[in-house]
Amino acid sequence: MNKITPKIEEVIYKVLMLASTAVVLSILFLILATVIWRGLPALNLAMLTQTPKGGYYLGQEGGILNAIVGSLYLAGGATMLAIVLSLPIALYLQVYIPHTRQAEWVRLAMDVLWGVPSIVYGAFGFIILIWLGMRASLLGGIIALAFLELPIMVRGMDEAIAMVPPALKETSYALGANKYETALKVILRQTAPGLLTAVLLAFGRGIGDAASVLFTAGYTDRLPNSLFRPAASLPLAVFFQLNTPYPAVQERAYASALILTFIILVLSLITRQLTTRLTTHIIR
């Protein structure tokens, strides 16, 4: 009779666990379904190919090409800048100072940076812009986003490089290569898919963030044509359109949200495919 209770306990918890998992998954599907259901009707070619014309925010013609291109430039520029900064840091951690106290401190700093809210990065970027005498601009947004992406990328690259079997590094050193050469010729090649995944992950974060570009990139209805002029971004486009009192514009906000979600989903898919495809060629 004492055996019944553990069994019943197990069944109860199993039900709770399955229910929790089901709830989490169904919320995901609910979110996607809501965005598609409300966004699809308002989606048309004009949304994707035109910039807002006069009166757009009052319900008239145009599209959000400014925001789509703006986001791509912002996230693209930020990601490139972040790569230039992150790759050396990750390589330094794994090749020059592996297993040292310093490396642990650096990783701690990266983890702390990872936790900094994006609005703080926006505020910081804003302070820098003022200090440099610049206004809200594409460049400002790129800088703020790069700071946001940096810890994500460094962590991802760090983990990717950590997966290289130490024997591979030792072989390189045994052949007389120094650390710089080993890093460049052996490690980069071996970890390329992992590094790419880290880049794509950071890019996805950059394209979806609003709080950091709010202060620093500003907003504009024009396509981005200069680093020193403001640039639009998709998340802000969604937000601003949603806040107008015109239902037609709000509908367009949902369509913009759908476009953003679509881009993110495609990005996730590509990342997954790349990881599985390229890992088949890796030495284990």
State yes or no: residue 272 binds other proteins (CB under 8 A).
yes
State yes or no: residue 23 binds other proteins (CB under 8 A).
yes
Distances (CA, A) of 35 to 28, 99, 131, 260: 11, 46, 40, 10
State yes or no: residue 6 binds other proteins (CB under 8 A).
yes
Stretch that binds other proteins, among 48-56, 73-81, 162-170, 253-261 (CB under 8 A): 253-261
Q: Looking at beta carbons only, is 209 or 225 nearer to other proteins?
A: 209
* Structure token pair of residue 80: 């490139």
Stretch that binds other proteins, among 72-80, 157-165, 190-198, 259-267 (CB under 8 A): 259-267
Stretch that binds other proteins, among 5-13, 60-68, 155-163, 185-193 (CB under 8 A): 5-13
Stretch that binds other proteins, among 41-49, 54-62, 199-207, 274-282 (CB under 8 A): 199-207
State yes or no: residue 60 binds other proteins (CB under 8 A).
no
Work out which of 9, 60, 170, 175 binds other proteins, going by CB under 8 A: 9
Can you tell me the distance from the alpha carbon of 135 to that of 35, in angstroms, rounded to the nearest whole number? 34
Shortest distance in whole angstroms from residue 97 CB to other proteins: 8
Q: Looking at beta carbons only, is 93 or 225 nearer to other proteins?
A: 93
State yes or no: residue 279 binds other proteins (CB under 8 A).
no
Shortest distance in whole angstroms from residue 169 CB to other proteins: 15
Shortest distance in whole angstroms from residue 217 CB to other proteins: 12
State yes or no: residue 16 binds other proteins (CB under 8 A).
yes
Distances (CA, A) of 277 to 57, 125, 159, 199, 268: 44, 38, 19, 16, 14
Nearest alpha-carbon partner for 143 in 238, 53, 79, 219 = 79
Site for other proteins in 121-150 (CB under 8 A): 121, 123-124, 127-128, 147, 150
State yes or no: residue 261 binds other proteins (CB under 8 A).
yes
Can you tell me the distance from the alpha carbon of 195 to that of 14, in angstroms, rounded to the nearest whole number? 38
State yes or no: residue 168 binds other proteins (CB under 8 A).
no
Helical H runs in 163-232? 166-174, 179-181, 188-208, 211-216
For helices 65-91 and 188-208, the axis angle rounded to 10 degrees is 140
State yes or no: residue 27 binds other proteins (CB under 8 A).
yes
Distances (CA, A) of 19 to 6, 113, 143: 20, 35, 43
Q: Which residues contact 61 (CB under 8 A, 6 or more apart)?
A: 46, 50, 53, 55
